[in-house]
Structure 1
Amino acid sequence: MGSPVYIQIHNELRKSIEDGKWKVGSKIPAERELATQFGVSRMTLRQAIQTLVDEGVLERRVGSGTFVASSKVQEKMAGVTSFTDLMQAAGKKPSSKTVSYHLTIPSESEIEKLKLKEGEQVLRMERVRYGNDVPLCYEVATVPADLIKGFSKAEITSSFYHTLESKADLHPGHATQRVSAANANERIAELLKIRRGDALLRMTQISYLQDGRPFEYVHAQYVGNRFEFVLEK
């Protein structure tokens, strides 16, 4: 099974950036030009670009194009808390809607962040997370496939952290997180029941087990006026 075409393009574009073909702050070629170069539809090319935007590698500037993102100030937030625990602590009923769920070949970013070995597969799932039936967050979570053997889809999508602890005796430890501002595109706006262009808080997180192994790589987009992060120093 080969990786999806948009992931292959993602990997090639990312390598071009890492190799210095496009410097920080420089504008990359237009989508039409890149789609022709890779021999794919603009929809497929746009999906690859959006993945790099979600990772913070690229940034879109309205009316100007897409640029290699500059470095941003990073703040560490204390601890690793599951969305379920977070909602319950806030007195809200947590729930999730699974948008997609499949085993696949990891992207270069996922291999790097999750420290995967050659040939390892991952589970990649898209979910909308709710508090009291109000959509708060859209996320794409990737976990090593070997880690979730024997888990049912329901156990993983409803409360992954609780399943890890109760069924595998694996306990989350710390996480590295990056938070930045973004605006909702048409698809995300529809999923989160907001307007296109509304403010989002975009978070990229790598979560580690207590023994230091990375077990989850997440790109999440939170509705700006429904969610806030509290930093502890």
Structure 2
Amino acid sequence: MSKEKPIYIQIHNKIRKMIEEGQWKVGERIPSERDLAKTFEVSRMTLRQAVQTLVDEGILERKVGSGTYVSSRKVQEKMTGIQSFTEIMLSQGRKPTSKTISYHVKPASISEAEHLRLQNETVVLRMERVRFADDVPICFEVATIPFHLVESLGKKEITLSLYKTLEEEKNIHVRRAEQTISAMLASERISEYLDIKRGEAILQLKQITYSNDNEPFEYTRTQYVADRFEFYLEK
């Protein structure tokens, strides 16, 4: 090896190149430090220093008791402005898809009626969906919409992109949203949908979305996989 750069930097560069060339894919565990040290014919201390540099750069991530993995670039949602899940994915070069878990028209619960300013037991559409980015489950979403707003629309139109459909078919535009974020642990049901372990950390977003006439038209409760999604603020 060349003596122009420290050995650990040379190892760092080699591992990074291997990742860029697809030898280890996003989310895949790399070989153990012992095996990599043998591969590169260096001490484990040198190898560990190279790997730690890659971890610090966000290229690799350590998981306690599991190993070291190629980091997944998290989906980001900017906490200023309002975008649909589909718009967020497309803006980041991801392929958005959804799987509808349930789709029911029924009287609003007390909580739904309160958040949407409806009379108790007003009929609403409540749908549950798992949302994916490049076929990786990102979140489990429960959305409630006053039924009279979507009564004439088809299920396919609504589940594919609600905001776009309301804008094109009903001239309902998103004006603003109220959002509350909290941390919680995944239930057994949610963990199965999101392909994570029960009790794993997730982020819950509750959002009330308002139309151009400042009326609430959607109440969502969304649970995101914490290591696949992040929110950020921009001042």
- For Structure 1 versus Structure 2, the TM-score category normalised by the shorter chain is 0.5 to 0.7
CA deviation after TM superposition for structure 1 residue 166, in Å: 1.0
- CA–CA distance in 2 between the matches of 1:79 and 1:197? 31
* Aligned amino acid, residue 150 of structure 1: S
1:231 aligns to 2:228 (yes or no): no
- What is the 5 A alignment of 1:85-124? 85-118=87-120, 120-124=122-126
Partner of 2:161: 159
1:148 aligns to 2:150 (yes or no): yes
Q: Is the 8 A contact 1:184 1:198 kept in 2?
A: yes
Q: Is the 8 A contact 2:101 2:130 kept in 1?
A: yes
1:78 aligns to 2:86 (yes or no): no
Q: Is the 8 A contact 2:113 2:121 kept in 1?
A: no
* Aligned amino acid, residue 123 of structure 1: L
CA distance 1:111–1:91, change in 2 (3 Å)? same
Once the two structures are superposed, residues 130-151 of structure 1 have per-residue CA deviations (whole angstroms, 9 ceiling, x without a partner) of 0001000001100000010211
Q: Is the 8 A contact 1:92 1:132 kept in 2?
A: yes
CA deviation after TM superposition for structure 1 residue 119, in Å: 5.2
Moved over 2 A (4+): 117-120
* Aligned amino acid, residue 174 of structure 1: R
- What is the 5 A alignment of 1:1-233? 77-118=79-120, 120-233=122-235
- CA–CA distance in 2 between the matches of 1:173 and 1:95? 25
Q: Aligned residue pairs: how many?
A: 158
CA RMSD between the two structures: 1.3
CA distance 1:108–1:91, change in 2 (3 Å)? same
CA distance 1:146–1:191, change in 2 (3 Å)? same
Partner of 1:32: none
* Aligned amino acid, residue 225 of structure 1: D
CA deviation after TM superposition for structure 1 residue 117, in Å: 3.0
- CA–CA distance in 2 between the matches of 1:184 and 1:92? 24
Answer with 1 or 2: which has the greater Rg.
2
Percent identity, aligned pairs only?
53
Q: Is the 8 A contact 2:110 2:121 kept in 1?
A: no
- TM-score with structure 2 length normalisation? 0.65
Which sections of structure 2, spanning at least 5 residues, go unmatched?
1-77
